[in-house]
Amino acid sequence: MKLLTVVGARPQFVKASAVSRVLRKTHTEILVHTGQHYDRNMSAVFFDELDIPHPDYNLGVGSASHGRQTGEMLIKIEEILLREKPDAVLVYGDTNSTLAGALAASKLLIPVAHVEAGLRSYNKAMPEEQNRVLTDHISHFLFCPTETAVGNLKKEGVTENVYNTGDVMADALFHYREISGRKFESVGLGALNPLFENTSNLNNGYILCTIHRAENTAGERKLENILAALEQLPLPVIFPTHPRIREQLADLQKKHGYKNIRFVEPVGYLYMIYLASHAQKIVTDSGGLQKEAYLLKVPCVTVRDQTEWVETLHGGWNILAAANTEDILQKAARVRPDEAQWRACYGGGDAAEKISRFLSASL
Ligand code: UD1
């Protein structure tokens, strides 16, 4: 069977690495990279360290407004679909690359398989929510990470070809956790040395933070409030920065001279897992990182009004905070998980196997 996979943004490389490894044992896969993420440390690094096959097509779409970016992808993906004539198209998650891949395929009546289907924040102002709702409703196969996601689809009348496979990001984490540990065991936080003058005070514990969502970074105010909280946390904060806020951060750093926050360039997946597993706490607005925190049993504060990964909230492992200084500080002090309430709710690391089997049986 010939499958065509569309990826474009950092978390999709991680998800596709887990699925491609399994799919390619029995199927032919054509890999299309839209070029939505293009910086070396947002893209190539992931292909190298996760051993992802080189993309068959790189569309080089890059950054633009949502409409232009999605539109350019749509035009280029359609051309490739007409040439390659795949049996199905695989898309991941909720980015503009996901929607473009799904829409191009659906218009040509090629079945779309959506991996990470059924997640909802019920906040339609988020570009991700728009992308995932639209993609789910034009997909033929809906591979859900959780029972909650299956239930969300049911509420919208989507019940056919809906499978709870478990989460492919859990597959990736289980697969790479040990590899990451072995790789960074001896160097540890020293890998940050070229970036900091001195990492010694991090050895007594640190908080890992990532913030990049449009809802927290559009305009200066919210980001400034979040940083004010990080500056007052009782442990130093390691903050790998997304390029979209590089300039904003530089301006705010000049204005406030943060001392407790250590901004570093984005790190690869393997080092991110290392940093996450050794952190005292995590503060983030990333869907992937809040779930990795849960799977690694690290307490997490998610700076958002809602989460699609509601299971992480059970037992207080993850707690939501508004983008305001007091709330983040309060929640960071409060996040104290109950070990007894941790549940293995994201599958056993075999989501990719299930996806491959469902596709083989149905196409
Ligand atoms: C996208 C996804 C988001 C996901 C995130 C993962 C959408 C709508 N959003 O957000 O759901 O959580 O990826 O990281 O698809 N930039 C660079 N270099 C890069 C990539 C981006 O400098 O390699 C900068 C550009 O200024 C660009 C901005 O980041 O305009 C935003 O990039 P974009 O791909 O539009 O969205 P993300 O914020 O990365």
Q: What is the pLDDT of residues 22-80, one digit of tens each?
A: 999 999 999 999 999 999 999 999 999 999 999 999 999 999 999 999 999 999 999 99
Token pair belonging to 44 = 């190539």
Beta bridge partners of 3: 29, 88
Q: Which of 289, 298, 272, 271 is nearest to 184 (CA)?
A: 271
Q: What is the pLDDT at residue 199? A: 66
**Position in ligand 1 atom list of the atom nearest CA 42:** 23
Distance CA 216, CA 236 (A): 21
Q: What is the pLDDT at residue 338? A: 85
Residue 78, CB-side half-sphere exposure with 13 Å CA sphere? 13
Token pair belonging to 327 = 């709330």
> What are φ and ψ of residue 260, in 5° steps?
-85, -15
Kindly report the number of other CB atoms within 10 A of residue 53's CB atom: 15
Q: Is 183 in the pocket of ligand 1 (CB under 6 A)?
A: no
Q: Is 39 in the pocket of ligand 1 (CB under 6 A)?
A: yes
pTM of the predicted protein model: 0.96
Q: Is 243 in the pocket of ligand 1 (CB under 6 A)?
A: yes
Distance CA 104, CA 256 (A): 46
In the predicted model, what is the mean pLDDT of residues 134-138? 98
Q: Output the residue whose Cα is nearest ligand 1's atom 29.
A: 244
256 is catalytic: no
Q: What is the pLDDT at residue 193? A: 64
Q: What is the CA radius of gyration of the chain?
A: 20
Q: Please list, in sequence order, all residues whose beta carbon lies within 8 angstroms of the beta carbon of residue 274, skipping any fewer than 6 positions away.
A: 180, 181, 183, 184, 188, 191
Least confident of 175-179, 199-203, 282-286: 199-203
> What are φ and ψ of residue 347, in 5° steps?
90, 175
Q: What is the pLDDT at residue 198? A: 63
End-to-end C-alpha distance for the chain, whole angstroms: 8
